[in-house]
Amino acid sequence: MSLHNIKYRLCLMVVMLAAVFSLSVVHASAAGVSDYGTLKVSGTKLVSSKTGENAKLFGVSTHGINWDVGYPYISKEAFSTLKDNYGVNAVRLAMYTTEYFGYCDKAGANESQSQVQSTLKERIDTGVKAATELDMYVIIDWHVLNDQNPNKYKKEAKAFFKEMSKKYSENDNVLYEICNEPNGGTSWSDIKKYAEDVIPVIRENDPDAVIIVGTPTWSQDVDIAADNPLKFDNVMYTLHFYASTHKDSYRDKLKTAISKGLPVLVTEYGLSEASGDGNIDTAEAKKWLDMLDENGISYFAWSLSNKAESSALLKAGTGKKSGWGNSDLSKAGKWVFNQYKKRNGINSVSLPGKVSGLKVKNKKGRKLYLSWAPVSEANGYQVVYSTGKKFGRSKKKLVKGTSVTISKLKKKKTYYVKLRAYKKAGTGKRFGKYSAVKKIKIKK
């Protein structure tokens, strides 16, 4: 074979591989804040305040944001990958209260306790801002574990949630999980006493926020909580399961709780054993997700981490902090994200076409008028604009028609604008390719 032919075939292979790779990146998302609005509890379900429909959260929990297996993935880039590639619409920020670098007990960390708390609150703020910009919901989780009984640090919890609820009272996307996994013989009456003191602190600043309460025995005894629930609106109760350990008898607990009218949210589940490691059981995990879907219950997979344990969604040692492809995912990660795409209906709808004919004009009062050609079968469009050509800190707007006016822009700043069409798909949307980028300077 001639050298010319070899070069030609190599070039052809590169082009084919590039085409395959580009096809594998599917931009899709489950329904977000712009679809559901503020969430509330109705009966046993989490529902949209806009439509009253069941609001389904396909969530992922970080590992502890206290450590380097958790906090590096708190970013807009990471959350965007979860949303666009895998249909995730909610993130849980797991902040441990006790253990190394814990919010209440820093253990052997060199920093002072106040420095630790300041750092953790900054990480939470980064996560809330990223989720907000991406139209995603976010849980702020007070991750009780080694402290066992949440009453141990009730004073600190009240101060923390007072600060958080005041700071995020205007957010439509923030939920509060006030005690992760009470254990060590902590009773429901202990937990209830704690919740009755902490919930009013949140309600003072954020009267309608959804508050999530842990249940006894590492958040498994929802049947016990159902016999004596709290007397507050917009409260849900947590069930956690790890599929290789928790099977029919634990699903029976859930059935009992639902039958008694208890609203349940699964803020943590895994395919592994209860330790977070060991064998993976996808057959049992499928039984769980089928049951949760049948009852309109939302769920969050543990965990967004590259930790060397079988529950981690990324491969051990994976260096990427965002932009993960299939080869970067663990066995658990591949299964979870494949299930999410199937269960929220994203894969059942074809992609819309690319938007063309985008026109951008100045309007008086620091406004831009955008218009474009319609895309056949599109249900709407997503407009993205930014003062940076790489669209850093961009703003997004969903539009039904083929024109929109963008207001409150910065005087004499140059803006970059692009948009893409979307089709409704199950609980969410599938997005087409972006239009060509338009650049325009605000005149006055």
Write the single-letter amino acid at 393: R
Q: Which residues, listed in sequence order, are joined to residue 98 by a DSSP beta bridge?
A: 105
- In the residue annotation, 309 being an active-site residue is answered as no
Q: Report cis status (omega within 30 of 0) of the bond before 348.
A: no
SS3 letters across 180-200: CCCCCCCCHHHHHHHHHHHHH
DSSP classification of residue 105: B
Kind plus residue range of the DSSP H or E element containing 371 = strand 367-371
The number of angstroms, rounded, from the C-alpha of 73 to the middle of its chain's C-alpha atoms is: 12
Pairing of strands 428-431, 28-30: antiparallel
**Sign (positive/negative) of CA torsion 104, 119, 306, 326?**
positive
* List 99, 181, 284, 309, catalytic entry: 181
Q: Which residues touch 10 (CB under 8 Å, ≥6 apart)?
A: none
Asked whether 37 and 434 are in contact (CB, 8 A), the reply is: no
Burial 416-441, CB ≥16 within 10 A → b, else e: bbbbbbbbebbbbbbbbebbeebebe
**Sign (positive/negative) of CA torsion 195, 198, 201, 205?**
negative
What does the angle CA 145 – CA 243 – CA 131 come to, to the nearest 5 degrees? 60
371/391 Cα distance (integer angstroms): 20
* List 177, 268, 273, 309, catalytic entry: 268
3-state secondary structure of 328: helix
Write the single-letter amino acid at 82: L
The string of DSSP letters for 294-327 reads HTT--EEEEEE---SSTT-SB-TT---SS---GG
Q: At what angle do helices 331-343 and 76-86 cross, to 10 degrees?
A: 60
- In the residue annotation, 268 being an active-site residue is answered as yes
Active site positions, annotated:
181, 268
